[in-house]
Amino acid sequence: MKYTIDRRFKGLLPVVIDIETAGFDPNENALLEVAAVFMNYDEGILQPIHIFHEHVIPEPGLELDEAALEFTQIIPDHPFRMAKPEAEVIQLLNEEISKYMDFLGCSRSVLVGHNGQFDLSFLQAAAERHQLPLQLHRFLVMDTATLSAALLGETVLAKAVRKARLPFDDAQAHGALYDATITSELFSKLIQQADASRIRSGSGRSSG
């Protein structure tokens, strides 16, 4: 039987997500950008099959921290951002998650991210503001920072990526699309390493 993504992750669909924000408080600072990489498990390797990427119009009443904007280099009112309202972006993300859960035979989805609880907290706050569901596990996160600490001895994204022998472009870092993409590549490497370790230890791949 083919070892599919739903079997590898016990019915869960890992969705690699990165966001950019105007601060650190999900209830006070605006969500500005969301990127998600959908992956399939093909011949024992996680491969990207679809990328979701949207810029977000800052929700009225939320704060835009100048230090955060300087760090990300995001200009919230720039016309070429082609940003969409926060509620619309959450709805579109939900639709994509549901679509790929059905396509890949998964019953639930889980956020994969580097320090992913941060990303999840902002998405949950945005969904709550608009009384929308969020098609992601409420508290479970597959955190590549934690996985990298265990398997590579690194926690910083750039250092973990390079330790995994992947290229990292500092000039593109801190954009949601680039960070989600490179995090998906890191996650794939980490899962490969974990699978290889299980096989070497004699446990093999679980079929349950």
Asked if 105 and 78 count as a contact pair (C-beta separation under 8 A), the reply is no
pLDDT category of residue 1 using cuts at 50, 70 and 90: very low
pLDDT in tens, 121-148: 999 999 999 999 999 999 999 999 999 9
Residues sharing a CB contact under 8 Å with residue 186, sequence separation 6 or more, in sequence order: 114, 144, 148, 157, 160, 161, 164, 166
Whole domain around residue 68: which residue ranges? 5-197
Assess if residue 203 is contained within a domain.
Answer: no
CATH code, domain carrying 151: 3.30.420.10
Asked if residue 190 is part of any domain, the answer here is yes
Is 208 inside a domain boundary? Answer: no
Q: Is residue 19 part of a domain?
A: yes
Residue 173 lies in a domain: yes
Which pLDDT score, from 0 to 100, does residue 2 have? 62
Which residues carry out catalysis? Answer: 174
Region class of 60: left (phi > 0), else alpha (psi between -120 and 50), else beta = beta
Domains of the chain: total: 1
pLDDT in tens, 77-131: 998 999 999 999 999 999 999 999 999 999 999 999 999 999 999 999 999 999 9
